[in-house]
Amino acid sequence: KSNRLKQVFQKGERPAMGFWQMLPGANVSRILARSGADWVIVDCEHGNIDDAAMHDAVPAIAALGASPIVRIPDHQPWMVKRALDSGAHGILVPLIRTVEEVRKVVSSAKFPPQGTRGFGSPIALQNFEPEPTFTEYLQQANEGLLTMVQIETKEALESVEEIVLLVDVVFIGPFDLGNNIGHPVINGKMDVELDEAIARVLRAAVAADKKAGIFCSSGEQAKQPHPSLLKRVILQDCSNRLVMRIPQPQLPADIV
Ligand code: 3PY
């Protein structure tokens, strides 16, 4: 199926918006995918979603035209493989620390010669329309899949200018990033050090002409202009329904 998130990125006319699925069930996926989201994150890191539930959620989302993106629990190659074999249009990788980890993730997401991904699942192949030949599939999968890593550790922040060159999207986890640099989000408020850390991620994305994204905790938050992210970030409707916006990286003049 076409990768809607990638298309929104390619057009570049507006931020992409998505929801966060933390509860299992294909009907939960359908409700989220139907609500106009460009993408739905199937959260296998913190959500109550195991491997079988992921395999139910991903095709349900894709069938409704949104992009299923799996947040894998860790950066292990076998987790990348299982998420992509389920038909995900991309992966979101949490708690990245080093450039080497990112290289490994990207390599595990691509078939040879670009990477080291193993082939075996007919499911992912059938997700492409029209169904490609085997050779076409390998090429389309390598070109089409989105690699997204979270910048939410001190180490990743310090290497973000290098990391961003390797992936499609750098995605800020403000809660973990705040905790890991010693400036946690308190009552929804970010202090100046966290704000500057976020701005650094955006600067890196702008310089590399890549996409950046961030998680927001409320609809209100997404509507408010953020000193670093301008207006469009991510929002949460209620505890289990999050809307996320991946902005065109843009910086206010006083930060550039
Ligand atoms: C964070 O804010 O740390 C996240 O990863 C959002 O889930």
Which residues, judged by CB distance below 6 Å to any ligand atom, belong to the binding site of ligand 1? 150, 152, 173-176, 215
Most distant CA atoms of the chain, gap in Å: 52
Helix, strand, coil tally for the chain in percent (to 5): 40, 20, 40
Class of domain 4-246: alpha beta
Per-residue pLDDT, 231:
33
How far, in Å, is the centroid of ligand 1 from the Cα of 148? 13
Q: Is residue 46 annotated as part of the catalytic site, yes or no?
A: yes
To test the ligand 1 pocket, which listed residue (70, 74, 152, 244) has its Cβ within 8 A of the most ligand atoms?
A: 152
Q: Report DSSP state, residue 171.
A: E
* Cβ atoms of 18 and 243 closer than 8 Å: yes
Is ipTM beyond 0.85?
yes
Question: Going residue by residue through the chain (256 aa), what tens digit of pLDDT does each one get?
Answer: 689 999 988 887 777 778 889 999 999 999 999 988 899 999 999 999 999 999 999 999 999 999 999 999 999 999 999 999 999 999 999 999 999 999 999 999 999 999 999 998 877 887 777 788 888 999 999 999 999 999 999 999 999 999 999 999 999 999 999 999 999 988 878 889 998 898 899 889 888 988 888 887 665 565 555 444 443 333 333 333 344 555 444 444 443 3
How far, in Å, is the centroid of ligand 1 from the Cα of 142? 27
Closest atom of ligand 1 to CA, residue 174: 2
Atom 7 of ligand 1, residue of closest alpha carbon: 173
How is the chain split into domains, by residue range? 4-246
Closest atom of ligand 1 to CA, residue 43: 7
